[in-house]
C-alpha cells in the first residue's frame, strides 16, 4: 500500500513538472515574439543592409549557432532567457530582406498576415495533437534530423545556384519538416523527454520561425502582386 502511494505521488509529481515545463515554454515562446517583431521592425524601418551570398550565409550561421550554443550552455539560469531573447531579436533582424521584398508587393501586408495566421494555425493544431495523441512521435527524430541536414545543404547550394524552382521545393520541404518537428518537440515535453523550458522554447521557436519564413516565401512566389 505504501509503495502504491509512493508510485502515485511520483506520477503526480512528474505530471506537475511536465505541465509546468509546457506552460513556461508556451509563455516564453509568446514572449520571444516581441523581440522578433522589434528586430524585424528595426531592420525594415531603417533599411539595414544585410550581407548576401555565401559570406552572408556563413556569417548568419556562425552567429546563430553561437547564440544556440550559449543558450544551451546557460539554460539553467536567467542568462539563458536573456540570450534567448537576444537571439530572437537577431532572428527578427534576419527577416529584413524577406519582409522588404514582400512589402514591395501591392498585397505585401496581406501576405505577411496570411503567413502569420497560417503559422499560428499550424502550431496550434499540431501542438494540440502532440499533447493529446497516444501515438509515439519519438521515432521521427532521426528521420527529421537527416531531412534537416539535407535541407540545410540544399539551402546553402541554392545561395549559389539561385534557382526559383529549388527555392519553392526547399520552402515546401521546410514546412513539412518543421511542422513534424512541432509534433516531436511538444511531445518530448509532454512525455518528460525535455525538462528544460528554455531549451524547449528554443526548439519550438526555430520550428515556428522556419515555418513562417517558408510559408511567406511560398506566398510571395504564388500570390505576390506588383500592381
Distance, CA of 164 to CA of 194 (rounded, Å): 38
DSSP H helical ranges for the chain: 2-45, 53-73, 78-93, 96-103, 108-132, 140-161, 164-190, 197-223
Separation of alpha carbons 83 and 30, rounded Å? 16
Whether the per-residue pLDDT at 180 is higher than 70: the answer is: yes
Give the pLDDT band (50/70/90) at residue 67.
Answer: very high
pLDDT at 91: 97
pLDDT at 224: 59
66 — pLDDT class (breaks 50, 70, 90): very high
Rounded Cα distance between 188 and 152, Å, is: 23
Mean model confidence pLDDT for the chain: 90
Identify the pLDDT of residue 185: 96
Tens digit of pLDDT for each residue in 79-122?
Answer: 999 999 999 999 999 999 999 999 999 899 999 999 999 999 99
Q: Does the pLDDT value for residue 183 go beyond 80?
A: yes
Q: Which of 120, 54, 53, 50 is nearest to 90 (CA)?
A: 50
Mean pLDDT score, 35-55: 89
Say what the pTM is: 0.91
pLDDT at 144 over 90: yes
pLDDT of residue 63 exceeding 50, the answer is yes
Q: Is there a contact between 119 and 171 (Cβ–Cβ < 8 Å)?
A: no
Q: Say if residue 155's pLDDT is above 70.
A: yes
Distance in angstroms (rounded) separating the CA atoms of residues 47 and 42? 8
Torsion over CA: 39, 40, 46, 52 (sign): positive
DSSP state of 107: T
* Percentage of the residues of the chain whose pLDDT score is greater than 70: 92
At 57 the pLDDT is: 86
Over residues 200-225, the mean pLDDT reads: 91
Q: Say yes or no to pLDDT of 52 above 90.
A: no
What are the cell numbers at 148? 534537416
Position with higher pLDDT, 223 vs 174: 174
Average pLDDT over residues 73-81: 95
More confident residue, 148 or 6: 148
- Taking each helix axis from N to C end, the angle separating 2-45 and 78-93, rounded to the nearest 10 degrees, works out to 40
pLDDT at 24: 95
- The per-residue pLDDT for 188 is 93
Amino acid at each position: 500500500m505504501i509503495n502504491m502511494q509512493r508510485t502515485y505521488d511520483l506520477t503526480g509529481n512528474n505530471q506537475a513538472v511536465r505541465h509546468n515545463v509546457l506552460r513556461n515554454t508556451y509563455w516564453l515562446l509568446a514572449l520571444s515574439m516581441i523581440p522578433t517583431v522589434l528586430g524585424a521592425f528595426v531592420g525594415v524601418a531603417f533599411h539595414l543592409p544585410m550581407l548576401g551570398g555565401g559570406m552572408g550565409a556563413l556569417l548568419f550561421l556562425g552567429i546563430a549557432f553561437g547564440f544556440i550554443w550559449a543558450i544551451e550552455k546557460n539554460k539553467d539560469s536567467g542568462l539563458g532567457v536573456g540570450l534567448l531573447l537576444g537571439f530572437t531579436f537577431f532572428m527578427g533582424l534576419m527577416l529584413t530582406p524577406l519582409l522588404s521584398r514582400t512589402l514591395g508587393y501591392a498585397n505585401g501586408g496581406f501576405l505577411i498576415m496570411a503567413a502569420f495566421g497560417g503559422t499560428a494555425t499550424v502550431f496550434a493544431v499540431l501542438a494540440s495533437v502532440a499533447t493529446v495523441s497516444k501515438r509515439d512521435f519519438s521515432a521521427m527524430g532521426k528521420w527529421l534530423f537527416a531531412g534537416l541536414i539535407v535541407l540545410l545543404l540544399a539551402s546553402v547550394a541554392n545561395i549559389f545556384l539561385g534557382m526559383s524552382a529549388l527555392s519553392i521545393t526547399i520552402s515546401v520541404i521546410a514546412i513539412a519538416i518543421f511542422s513534424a518537428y512541432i509534433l516531436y518537440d511538444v511531445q518530448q515535453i509532454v512525455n518528460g523527454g525535455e525538462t528544460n523550458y528554455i531549451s524547449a522554447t528554443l526548439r519550438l521557436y526555430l520550428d515556428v520561425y522556419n515555418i513562417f519564413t517558408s510559408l511567406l516565401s511560398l506566398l510571395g512566389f504564388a500570390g505576390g502582386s506588383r500592381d
